Amino acid sequence: MPQVIPIIPGPQVVPSAVCFRCDVCCRFPEQDSILRPYFTENEIRQAVTHGISSSSFPDHLGSQIEVVPHPNEEGFLCPAFDPVTQHCRIYEMRPLDCQLYPFALMWNAQHERVVLGWDTLCPFLFEQAVEEVPLRGDSLEPSALTLPKAFMEQAQRVAIYLESDHALNALALHPRLVTPFQPEVVVLHTLDRLTAALRSSNVHDTR
C-alpha cells in the first residue's frame, strides 16, 4: 500500500479570507515551474477521484501536476484551482506540498541538509514579518525578517510532524517533495532525521 500522509496538525497559518484575495498561490509564470505541487501516488488517486484529470499527472506513482494556461491572463494555473471563485477544487484532500505552504521544504544552498523555511513571496507572511522589525529606510533582506511568535510555533509543530516516523517514511519514498534551494525562503529549522533518511536511502532527487 502507498504511504498516506495525513493533514498537517495545527491551525491554518494564513486566514482563508486572505488567501482568496491573493494572486500568488496556485499560479505559475512558467509551464515547467519547479514550484508546481508534487502529488504522491495516493494523493494522485484522491485528486483523480475528485475530478482532476488523470492526464494532469505524468507519473501516477508520484509527480508534479501539469499546469494549464490561465484562461484570462498570462501564465499558468494548477488545474485544481478555480480562478473565478479563487477556490481549490480539492482543498480538503490537497497534497502535503500544498498543505505546507507558506512554509517550504527544501535542500539548503549547499544541498547538504533538508530544511524547513517560510516563503517571503507569501504577501501575508511577509507583512507579518515586516511588522516585527523596526522601521528602516533601506530595503529589508529576507534573512533579517522574523515571523511573529504564533507563526514560529506553528513552524515548530510542522517541523516535528515532518520528522515523525510516519511522515518520515512517506517523505523518504517521495524525495521530490523536497525542493531545490529557494533563495527567497527564510530557513527556520534543519530537519536532521529527514536528511539522514534520504541520505541513507542514497536519494538526492530534486524536482
Per residue in 87-146, pLDDT (tens digit) is: 999 998 899 999 999 999 999 999 999 999 999 999 999 999 988 776 554 556 777 788
CA distances from 115 to 50, 122, 179, 197 (A): 32, 18, 10, 13
Least confident of 13-17, 60-64, 67-71, 86-90: 13-17
pLDDT score of 10 = 76
Q: What is the mean pLDDT of residues 193-200?
A: 91
For residue 87, the cross-strand partners are 82
Provide the mean pLDDT of the chain.
Answer: 89
Could you read off the pLDDT of 145-171 as tens digits, one per residue?
Answer: 889 999 999 999 999 999 998 888 888
Q: What is the mean pLDDT of residues 28-56?
A: 95
Q: Please list, in sequence order, all residues whose beta carbon lies within 8 angstroms of the beta carbon of residue 40, skipping any fewer than 6 positions away.
A: 2, 3, 5, 62, 95, 96, 170, 173, 174, 177
Whether 175 shows a pLDDT value over 80: the answer reads yes
Evaluate whether 44 touches 62 at the Cβ level (below 8 Å). Answer: yes
Per-residue confidence band for 200, with pLDDT thresholds at 50, 70 and 90: confident
Evaluate whether 34 touches 59 at the Cβ level (below 8 Å). Answer: no
Strands 185-190, 114-119: pairing is: antiparallel
pLDDT score of 55 = 97
119 CA to centre of own chain: 9
pTM score:
0.89
C-alpha cell at 69: 494556461
Per-residue confidence band for 2, with pLDDT thresholds at 50, 70 and 90: very low
Evaluate whether 38 touches 97 at the Cβ level (below 8 Å). Answer: yes
pLDDT score of 106 = 96
For residue 184, the cross-strand partners are none
pLDDT score of 203 = 59
